[in-house]
Structure 1
């Protein structure tokens, strides 16, 4: 066999190998727009595979940066005709779908779709491997309906004529993972948590980057491998320890957790739905799956797929990666650093609205007859002696409060009344980014329970321009949320008035009025 040239960013042992005919393998990803599939697909492309995806709505693929690199088949995985078109001339099938619905009949639906795919893959005659991401589970105990369904799906593939590798993973750690988001939001919101007794159960979480490593390696296991294997990270933790491990990584105090025997999965899911953005319908199956301990019982996967270079990711590092803190940095360079990126822990467009860190924003837009250059001159002159174009008493009060708790207050002013450069101090802000004539971004250096930025833009429109203003706040824990809600009533006075007065000042300057 001939090894392909090395794509960047993929370990040599995970790269695609051309067959005797010199053609690289084609893989089909079913579930490419889901949490794991959306992250695996670009890595398959980087490894040199030809990638095809089967999706219900081809428009969804367009949201991903890799959409131009794949072949898209539109159709449902429970439609035999669509599956037949999708598996034609395919070497490896990745099956990355499962129901998170709590509705009746989901087990039958999951089973029917798995049978359709297994039969289609067998009929194609070219598929040499099915890879399925299942759930880590103990043997010989009663499983939750969702874990039971995932086990049944894996058995469908293992009973079929096409060799299958079923990777059984526990809690996946990464931004966008429903299990991780539940840990994130519960820990962020609750300094004290009444919880079901399953918080004492042992769990073996795994970083999403390690899940992707194993999935990528699964395409190259020997052809005679037809079995299920466990995958997990290096740490075995109780669920309560996972929450407090998150708290430490996020710079929060450890949480007091009380295990209560009266909280059933249904009651606990309603509680989670009340205090976090994770819907109760999603939380319920996750919670029910945690009623059993989920720890690896064998390490046979090591003989099939080598571990990642540098080893598996410890839990604390996996959390920091999910938070955008690759090492020990507690502050991002800017709020935009937390947006969509290339790391597997980064959020994707397909992730649910409740995924990712909590972000509060206040956005204001104001049209003006003033030309953009007049508005820009007001923007770059903001703060210091020029003020903040909103009630001075409110800014003075905020500055006094900041100094009271040891902050810089408003005493720093600014070096120039009419010019700023990146790195300049402007009262209790710091100039973080500057696009001359267009935008200014300030990072707050006041004492707040979180991270805050203020962005100001101007763009031409017609004979005048449009001024845009955005305040962005990343709360830290419950204190951060309480802080935002407490100042929310003043935002109308501060930010709405600020947008209005900045544009009025620009219009006055344009008319030559002092």
Structure 2
């Protein structure tokens, strides 16, 4: 079938499109700017079209020849989002009917009990669902509560609140029940909806295996993320309006998005029916803890994954994507350096591969040594491990208090920190060819904090980075200038002696 995916640059749409193609469907992806999809991995296999839901003419062109149309857009975060979504849904419904579309699929939100006044966010989702269900095109509405996956606004709010606040005063809604669902399961239902019986025109509640309070979700998140148990104190006078501003102050989630989401948390978000199971078997429906592990890249305790590169490939749906907003994916602190080197790339690489052990770390030896001593005082490995081979490194081996995680000979050395720190740390060193017989040295230090202690730790060492990491980059570049020709000896040493040590982090 030919499927139109609206919101292809959004959280769900960008993850759904490649999975529809993997299931054998043709995908036409609609975006207001085709350039935003230029670099996504699946773009070459899809048909990319430009269009705007406020422009009926562009919708008619986008829907021409389409069998199944996915409505995955919303205006949350914009002023007057209810009006904007109402108009978008009306235009979409008319165009889909006029073009003979066989099925509309919409991902909406949970329905609060009839006796409760719905929040603006949920009211808008219900209104869009009604418009599509009355379009004359058979429509399936999937009503999902909190979606667990890196990039989901609801999950990011949960992540930042739990990681940054070991003690928190919260509104009463932390006691409300929620049935969170993994993004992987949401995508599975969306794909299956394309093949549901043609006569179906209704909504379905979808949710995960577990029913939890929001407070329990924070505690379970903390456990999966290896954080201490959080102290949660519900406070009756804390209104949704104050709660939204509190969330905005603590997290990077924009206030314009946090406000309607927080206002929706006054309602319980659980499934009231599970009729979808008649058409889509539950299978291995994920529980909350496993969904969080996937979102954090923690598949196994012994598996450390570089989330910023999405290198794991284990469940990309749960991990960050390039099209996700900059505030998603958790906090990653970076220190980046770049130096042009008047030496060939192979000379620069020999210096990079020779770091550590007796060769040292090319800057401020005392700071590196002190960091190594401190690490041993708290039970870490310190600097006593050195390196196994004077000239070469191998993936998996120890290097002082680092572990070699990745080597691309002549290009990249990535080290993972094994010192005692409240988070996860990496050091990356790149050798890149420059014009003529020159090269470029790039250096990245990355730190993923764990809890409030991790953020405080990064802030405490930040003043030293300008000295340690900038000095390291300069001296590695200088070391490349003194390298002997290939075959004339091992790694060159800088002219000034350097003692082995660890990191300023």
The aligned counterpart of 1:82 is 58
Give the Å deviation of 1:337.
6.0
Deviation at 1:246, TM superposition (A): 0.8
User: Are positions 1:60 and 2:29 aligned together?
Assistant: no
Structure 1 runs, 4 residues or longer, greater than 6 Å off = none
In structure 2, the residue matched to 1:11 is none
- 1:205·1:233 contact (CA, 8 Å) conserved in 2? yes
Of 378-387 and 177-186, more deviation after overlay is shown by 378-387
The residue that corresponds to 1:470 in the other structure is: 444
Q: Which residue of 2 aligns with 1:225?
A: 200
Conserved? CA contact 1:334–1:432, under 8 Å: no
- Change in Cα spacing, 1:376 to 1:222, as seen in structure 2 (3 Å) is closer
How big is the shift at 1:506? 2.6
Alignment of 1:229-268 (within 5 A): 229-268=204-243
- Distance apart, 1:434 and its partner CA: 2.0
**Distance between the aligned counterparts of 1:73 and 1:492, measured in 2?**
46
Q: In structure 2, what is the equivalent of residue 289 of structure 1?
A: 264
The more displaced of 60-69 and 199-208 is 60-69
Task: State the distance in 1 between where 2:89 and 2:139 align.
Answer: 12
Please give the secondary structure, in 2, of the residue aligned with 1:432: strand
SS of 1:214's partner is: helix
- 2:341 aligned residue (368, 392, 399): 368
**For 1:57-99, what per-residue CA distance to the aligned partner results, in whole angstroms no more than 9, with x for missing partners?**
1112223222122223211112111111122222211111112
Pair 1:136-2:110 in alignment? yes
RMSD between superposed Cα atoms in Å: 1.9
Deviation at 1:372, TM superposition (A): 2.6
* Map of 1:15 onto structure 2: none
- Residues of 1 paired with 2:10 and 2:209: CA distance? 25
User: Partner residue of 2:322?
Assistant: 349
Matched residue count? 485
**In structure 2, C-alpha distance between the alignment counterparts of 1:130 and 1:440, rounded to whole Å:** 48
Alignment partners' CA distance in 1, 2:312 and 2:85: 31
Question: Take 1:250 and 1:331, find their aligned partners in 2: how far apart are those partners?
Answer: 14
What is the SS of the residue equivalent to 2:416? strand
Question: Which one of 292, 299, 302 corresponds to residue 277 of structure 2?
Answer: 302
1:213 is the counterpart of 2:197: no
For residue 91 of structure 2, the aligned residue among 105, 116, 129 is 116
Q: Which residue is 1:479 aligned to?
A: 453
CA shift for structure 1 position 468: 1.5
What's the offset of the Cα at 1:340?
8.1
1:153 aligns with 2:133: no
8 Å contact 1:413–1:426 — kept in the other structure?
A: yes
TM-score by length of structure 1 reads: 0.90
- TM superposition shift of 1:339: 4.9
Residue 303 of structure 1 deviates from its aligned partner by: 1.6
Alignment of 1:91-102 (within 5 A): 91-101=67-77
1-structure distance, mates of 2:195, 2:347: 62
- Unaligned segments of structure 1, at least 5 residues: 1-24
Query: Matches of 1:355 and 1:509 in 2, distance apart?
Result: 43
Q: Aligned in 2, Cα 1:32/1:275: closer, same or farther, shift over 3 Å?
A: same
Q: Name the SS for the 1:258 alignment partner.
A: strand
- SS of residue in 1 equivalent to 2:29: strand
Partners of 1:370 and 1:510 within 8 A in 2: no
Checking the alignment, whether the CA contact within 8 Å between 1:340 and 1:346 is kept in structure 2 is no
Question: By how many angstroms is 1:334 displaced?
Answer: 4.6
Does residue 320 (structure 1) correspond to residue 296 (structure 2)? The answer is no
**Partner residue, 1:425:** 398
The verdict on how the C-alpha distance between 1:334 and 1:278 changes in structure 2, with shifts beyond 3 A counting, is closer
Q: Is 1:495 aligned to 2:432, yes or no? A: no
Distance across 2 between alignment mates of 1:129 and 1:459? 50
Deviation at 1:357, TM superposition (A): 2.4
Q: Is the aligned partner of 1:329 residue 2:301?
A: yes
Q: What 5-or-longer segments of structure 2 have no aligned partner?
A: 486-491, 496-505
CA deviations over 1:333-357 (Å, ceiling 9, x no partner): 5566645846211211111001112
Cα-to-partner distance string for 1:383-410 (whole Å, 9 max, x where unaligned): 2222211111111110110010011111
Partner of residue 16 from structure 2, selected from 35, 40, 55: 40
Equivalent in 502, 505, 511 of residue 479 of structure 2: 505
- What's the secondary structure of 1:493's corresponding residue? helix
Q: Distance in 1 between matches of 2:412 and 2:42?
A: 30
User: What is the CA-CA distance between 1:460 and the residue it aligns to?
Assistant: 2.8
1:361-391 Cα distance to aligned partner (Å, 9 max, x none): 1111122223333322222222222221111
**TM alignment of 1:157-236, pairs within 5 A:** 157-236=132-211
Distance 1:336 1:286, change over 3 A: closer
Matched, 1:455 2:428: yes
Q: Tell me whether 493-502 or 259-268 shows the greater mean CA deviation.
A: 259-268
